[in-house]
């Protein structure tokens, strides 16, 4: 297997008739999916998604791919192919189009409908190129063929990219549900035909590579949802991804069958379901929907609320309900259904929401105690099936954390892909396909780009570290007045602390130490403000560490007179 190395050099120029592939996100992580293909100086992008922040990234709203690799070459981009409309595949598109607004967006009808609705909020009118499964479309030197794949959102596509360097099949996110809600099967026949033609490189979804067997069909969820409706005495609140149209359809069907009205809660949920209804992907019976502002007027046993927040997002509707910070008040006897899988890393936040809901008397039904969700990603049995169908000469696992990528690579090895033709890369690693062989040839800078409110890319790792220190340890500020000529103490120190947990009177013990340290600095003839500041920080830091075993942020403020 070909593995990345932390000291990879910058890549050489693209070889003649070679295809270069650089992932700017989605490798070693769940999210931020973005792959850049380069041939003859032209670029094709597949997906452009976001990663959601973890608890140790306070204040961050979204994490984007790093566009620096292509920023000076945006005019070379032929198109952005969007495999489906999940946020981890389309969420960064508005930020890319801010840099070049007329990059064509290629995708299925629903995918383009949802991204257009999102872009409207950014006041961006996109250039769209709608495609359907079975269609071939050329974008510069890239001929793209699209294949239907089944996923947890309708209208998902895989894409085969043809160039003189060979055929690359990028599956996007997929599974092989044999009884899908919309009857749209993954095009295994098309994959087999492509395999017979010769797949030079397979890039395949790795999320469930560690899960044996085959994923359960979406249809098996319907009886469980129906049972929830049959046994619930009061309100039913369903939390789901705002893009999970199939699940919302199942909930609406159950609501109609049990005589309940439905209200959609949350801006993204209302927006996405409106687009899905208008395009014909969501069937809403007449009279079923009611305005969320009217829902309190209905008897509890007659209503269903569908909202966001299944991942414990702090500002989502369900989290706010759990915290009693939402107009809809959870009451004893309510039933809450978390109809989604648990994204890795969100366990603590979700458990906090479940506990909050339970505190107010709600019965919470989730994946841990009922079969209320099935994954949208192929398990190991399905991944083996696709590997055997396509028989790729080279294999590169994508979309997954390190353990998923390695497990998928092992599956490829079992199906006969030579070890030396299996490429495990990470974000920024450069892979060239030349003369039928894929190999790592270097790496380009590829970091996280943080979105904090309206700020994009201004927050650095250093700033995040400061935020973590402030959140965990608090801060101490020391105001000192010094003589600008001699550096001698002329006033203070005055010490203020916030969040450190140290009694203000306790600082009386360190003031003499600060005075002695400053006297020593002044006696040495040092009047440099930076040196004085370092002396104060070091003195107070040592005292806090020795006395309290804490490491708050220490901010000396030196005033010269």
What pLDDT score was predicted for residue 2?
Answer: 45
Q: How many CB atoms lie within 10 A of CB 213?
A: 10
- The residues with which 430 forms a beta bridge, in sequence order, are 22, 442
Q: What is the 3-state secondary structure (H, E, C) of 223-234?
A: HHHHHHHHHCCC
What pLDDT score was predicted for residue 454?
Answer: 64
482-485: Cβ within 8 A, 24+ apart: 482/518, 482/527, 482/529, 482/532, 482/558, 482/559, 482/560, 482/561, 483/527, 483/560, 483/561, 484/527, 484/560, 484/561, 485/527
Of 246, 366, 377, 404, which one is the catalytic site residue? 377
> Is 242 a known ligand-binding residue?
yes
Of 205, 334, 427, 432, which one is the catalytic site residue? 205
Name the one residue in this structure whose structure tokens are 């930020």.
95
What is the average pLDDT across 495-515?
85
Pairing, β 449-452 against β 455-456: antiparallel
Residue 491: pLDDT band (50, 70, 90) is: confident
pLDDT at 337 exceeding the cut of 70: yes
In angstroms, the CA 89 to CA 172 distance is 9
What pLDDT score was predicted for residue 1?
Answer: 44
What pLDDT score was predicted for residue 480?
Answer: 87
> Is 404 a known ligand-binding residue?
no
What pLDDT score was predicted for residue 345?
Answer: 62
Q: What is the 3-state secondary structure (H, E, C) of 28-51?
A: CECCCCEEEEEECCEEEEECCCCE
> Is 439 a known ligand-binding residue?
no
> Is 375 a known ligand-binding residue?
yes
What is the average pLDDT across 196-203?
97
Spacing of C-alpha 41 from chain mean position? 30
Residues 6+ apart with CB under 8 A from 361: 330, 331, 332, 333, 334
What is the average pLDDT across 155-162?
98
pLDDT > 90 fraction of the chain, expressed in percent and rounded:
58
> Bigger pLDDT: 538 or 1?
538
What is the average pLDDT across 423-440?
96
In the three-class reduction of DSSP (H, G, I as helix; E, B as strand; rest coil), residue 423 is classed as strand
CB 376 within 8 A of CB 152: yes
What pLDDT score was predicted for residue 237?
Answer: 93
pLDDT > 70 fraction of the chain, expressed in percent and rounded:
94
What is the average pLDDT across 396-425?
96
- The residues with which 105 forms a beta bridge, in sequence order, are 80, 128
In angstroms, the CA 498 to CA 467 distance is 14
Mean of the per-residue pLDDT values for the chain? 89
> Is 243 a known ligand-binding residue?
yes
Task: Give me the sign of the Cα torsion angle 391, 397, 403, 409.
Answer: positive
pLDDT at 362 exceeding the cut of 60: yes
What pLDDT score was predicted for residue 27?
Answer: 95
Residues 6+ apart with CB under 8 A from 459: 59, 60, 450, 452
> Is 326 a known ligand-binding residue?
no
> Is 61 a known ligand-binding residue?
yes
CB 101 within 8 A of CB 43: no
What is the average pLDDT across 263-280?
92
> Bigger pLDDT: 297 or 439?
439
Helices assigned H by DSSP within 150-290? 188-197, 221-231, 245-257, 267-278
- The residues with which 145 forms a beta bridge, in sequence order, are 136, 160
In angstroms, the CA 533 to CA 440 distance is 48
Q: Rounded to the nearest 5°, which phi and psi values hold at 468?
A: -65, -40
Sheet containing strand 236-239, edge to edge, reads 261-264, 303-307, 236-239, 335-338, 363-365
- The residues with which 22 forms a beta bridge, in sequence order, are 36, 430
377 catalytic residue (yes or no): yes
Residues 6+ apart with CB under 8 A from 292: 263, 264, 265, 305
> Is 244 a known ligand-binding residue?
yes
Residue 3: pLDDT band (50, 70, 90) is: very low
> Is 258 a known ligand-binding residue?
no
What stretch of H or E contains 538? helix 529-548
Helices assigned H by DSSP within 336-460? 347-359, 380-390, 402-414
> Is 204 a known ligand-binding residue?
no
What is the average pLDDT across 356-372?
85
- Which of 317, 339, 377 is CA-nearest to residue 88? 377
> Is 452 a known ligand-binding residue?
yes
> Is 3 a known ligand-binding residue?
no
In the three-class reduction of DSSP (H, G, I as helix; E, B as strand; rest coil), residue 539 is classed as helix
What confidence tens digit (pLDDT) does each residue in 474-487 have?
888 888 888 777 76
What pLDDT score was predicted for residue 368?
Answer: 73
- Tokens in use for 513? 């130490």
508 catalytic residue (yes or no): no
């Amino acid at each position: 297997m070909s593995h990345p190395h932390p000291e990879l050099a910058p890549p050489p120029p693209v070889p003649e008739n070679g295809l270069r592939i650089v992932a700017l996100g989605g490798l070693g992580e769940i999210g931020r999916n973005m792959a850049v293909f380069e041939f003859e100086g032209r670029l094709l992008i597949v997906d452009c998604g976001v990663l959601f922040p973890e608890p140790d990234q306070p204040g961050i709203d979204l994490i984007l791919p790093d566009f620096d690799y292509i920023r000076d070459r945006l005019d070379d981009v032929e198109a952005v192919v969007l495999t489906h409309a999940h946020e981890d595949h389309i969420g960064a598109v508005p930020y890319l189009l801010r840099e070049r607004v007329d990059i064509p967006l290629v995708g299925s009808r629903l995918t383009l409908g949802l991204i257009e609705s999102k872009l409207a909020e950014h006041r961006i009118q996109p250039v769209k190129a709608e495609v359907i499964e079975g269609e071939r479309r050329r974008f510069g030197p890239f001929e793209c063929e699209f294949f239907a794949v089944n996923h947890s959102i309708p209208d998902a596509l895989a894409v085969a990219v043809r160039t003189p360097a060979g055929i690359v099949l990028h599956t996007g996110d997929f599974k092989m549900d044999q009884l899908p809600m919309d009857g749209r099967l993954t095009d295994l026949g098309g994959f087999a035909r492509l395999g017979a033609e010769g797949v030079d490189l397979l890039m395949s979804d790795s999320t469930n590579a560690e899960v044996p067997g085959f994923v359960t069909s979406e249809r098996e969820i319907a009886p469980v949802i129906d049972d929830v409706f049959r046994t619930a005495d009061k309100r039913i609140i369903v939390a789901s991804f705002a893009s999970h149209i199939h699940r919302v359809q199942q909930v609406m069907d159950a609501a109609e069958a049990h005589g309940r009205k439905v209200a959609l809660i949350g801006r993204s949920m209302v927006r996405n379901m409106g687009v899905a209804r208008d395009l014909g992907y969501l069937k809403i019976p007449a009279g079923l929907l009611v305005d969320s502002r009217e829902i309190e007027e209905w008897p509890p046993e007659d209503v269903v609320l569908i909202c966001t927040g299944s991942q414990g997002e702090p500002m989502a509707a369900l989290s706010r309900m759990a915290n009693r910070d939402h107009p809809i008040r959870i009451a004893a006897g309510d039933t809450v259904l978390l109809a989604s899988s648990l994204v890795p890393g969100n366990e603590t936040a979700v458990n906090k929401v479940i506990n909050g809901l339970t505190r107010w008397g709600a019965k919470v039904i989730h994946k841990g105690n009922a079969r209320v969700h099935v994954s949208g990603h192929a398990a190991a049995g399905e991944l083996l099936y696709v590997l055997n169908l396509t028989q790729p000469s080279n294999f590169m696992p994508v979309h997954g954390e390190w353990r998923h990528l390695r497990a998928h690579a092992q599956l490829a090895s079992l199906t006969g892909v030579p070890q030396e033709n299996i490429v495990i890369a990470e974000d920024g690693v450069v892979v060239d396909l030349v003369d039928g062989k894929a190999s790592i040839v270097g790496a380009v800078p590829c970091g996280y780009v943080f979105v904090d409110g309206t700020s994009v890319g201004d927050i650095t790792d250093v700033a995040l570290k400061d935020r973590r220190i402030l959140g965990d340890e608090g801060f101490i500020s020391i105001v000192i007045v010094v003589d600008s000529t001699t550096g001698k103490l002329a006033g203070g120190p005055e010490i203020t602390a916030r969040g450190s947990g140290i009694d203000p009177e306790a600082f009386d013990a360190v003031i003499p130490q600060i005075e002695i340290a400053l006297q020593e600095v002044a006696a040495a003839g040092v009047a440099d403000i930076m040196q004085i500041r370092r002396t104060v920080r070091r003195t107070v830091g040592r005292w806090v560490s020795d006395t309290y075993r804490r490491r708050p942020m220490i901010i000396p403020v030196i005033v010269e007179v």
